[in-house]
Amino acid sequence: MLRFALLLITTLVAAPLFAAGYADNPAAQAVIAELVEEEGFDAESLNAILADAERQESILKAIARPAEKTKPWYDYRKIFVTEKRENQGVEFYNEHREALLRAETELGVPAEIIVAIIGVETYYGRITGSYHVLDALSTLAFDYPKRSPFFTSELKHFLILTRDQNVDPRDPKGSYAGAMGYGQFMPSSYRHYAIDFDGDGKTDIWNNPVDAIGSVANYFKAHGWRTGQPVVSAAVLAEGVDLEVFESGLKPELTLAQLKDKGVTAYRNLPEDTPVTPLAFEGAAGWEYWLGLHNFYVITRYNHSAMYAMSVYQLSQNLARRFAQ
């Protein structure tokens, strides 16, 4: 009983320390020291910022179960390739047609791909995340050892980005992983690929849909999108084909000629030296077999998941039909 009482007291006494955020955390102190040394930050203001960063248990829970890892394709697809997302995509297109067509011309990325990405990521800017990015990145940098180096780097990018943009780092909100704005850019992507597409002198993908459109297109361009090239082809399987070849990675590393020897050909008419990656998805009506092409791989640079890229592609195809009407 006495032990229990002592434990209780310890807990009560310890509570205010946790409320002091991450300023006392040794790893956070290392980040502060680096930013002071490398980027000329003021240590005192960084200490004050990290004192306001709070560990969020819900972030640690959320990162342990991303949707694309647990859901089969037939369930995953239902979330993203829907009539509602299509209808709102058409609205977004009508509202921002000038910027989208300009992105096509200047950056070589089709409007339907840009709209599909923004649609899948945030419902066209409607759902951009409710976590404070400072909390999300601090929690994952300092309390999620598995991905600590990645999130520590993103936290540093975030602190530099907000300083450059003249934004209080306590303000921006985003996903549990710290992805922000219409296109859910991580801070490093924001710094590397976001552009000022409406020419107002600011690069704002938090609130400015035109900047977001240009930035998504610029991200695709920088990752090698090939204008006018296809994204996927259905695969045609010979009888008794060994399905092991469909357990390949995201990168197209087998040519159609090599696959032909294994009994797999493309439904689309493509040159034999085209590199592809065979993909298998568990659909509602059974397994589906596809061949991912270079542009499919480029979509996976946005989110490293075959199901993600396929959702974006299929939504984009439905959108393209509607845009043409």
Residues that bind Ca ion (CB under 5 A): 196, 198, 200, 202, 211
User: What is residue 254's three-state secondary structure?
Assistant: strand
Distance CA 171, CA 169 (A): 5
In angstroms, what is the minimal distance from the CB of 207 to Ca ion? 10
CB-nearer residue toward Ca ion: 76 or 197: 197
Taking the C-alpha atoms of residue 258 and residue 238, their distance in angstroms, rounded to an integer, is 14
3-state DSSP call for residue 195?
coil
Residue 136: φ, ψ to 5°: -60, -50
> Strand 131-132 to strand 254-255: parallel, antiparallel, or no bridges (unpaired)?
unpaired
Q: Select from 242, 243, 231 the least CA-distant residue to 288.
A: 243
- Among the residues of the chain, which ranges form H helices? 2-19, 26-39, 43-51, 57-63, 67-70, 73-80, 83-95, 97-107, 111-122, 133-143, 148-164, 187-193, 209-222, 256-261, 294-300, 306-323
Q: Say if CB 181 and CB 158 are below 8 A apart.
A: no
Q: In the bound complex, what is the minimum distance in angstroms from residue 33's beta carbon to Ca ion?
A: 34
Q: Shortest gap between Cβ of 165 and Ca ion (angstroms)?
A: 11
Checking 91-100 for CB contacts under 8 A at 24+ apart, the result is 91/124, 92/118, 92/119, 92/124, 92/209, 93/319, 93/322, 93/323, 95/209, 96/209, 96/210, 96/213, 99/197, 99/198, 99/209, 99/210, 99/213, 99/214, 100/213
Cβ-based nearer residue to Ca ion, 171 or 200: 200
Phi/psi for 312 (5° steps) reads: -60, -45
Q: How far is the CB of 130 from Ca ion (least distance, A)?
A: 24
Q: Which is nearer to Ca ion, 196 or 282 (CB)?
A: 196
Cβ 201 to Ca ion shortest distance, Å: 7
Catalytic pick among 37, 83, 112, 121? 121
Nearer of residues 206 and 289 to Ca ion, judged by Cβ: 206
Q: Amino acid letter at 312?
A: V
Instruction: Verify whether residue 106 is a known catalytic residue.
Output: no
Nearer to Ca ion (CB atom), residue 46 or residue 210: 210
Output 21 or 214, the one with its CB closest to Ca ion: 214
CB of 39 to Ca ion, least distance (A): 24
Indicate the pairing of strand 264-266 with strand 254-255. Answer: unpaired
- Residues with a catalytic annotation lie at 121
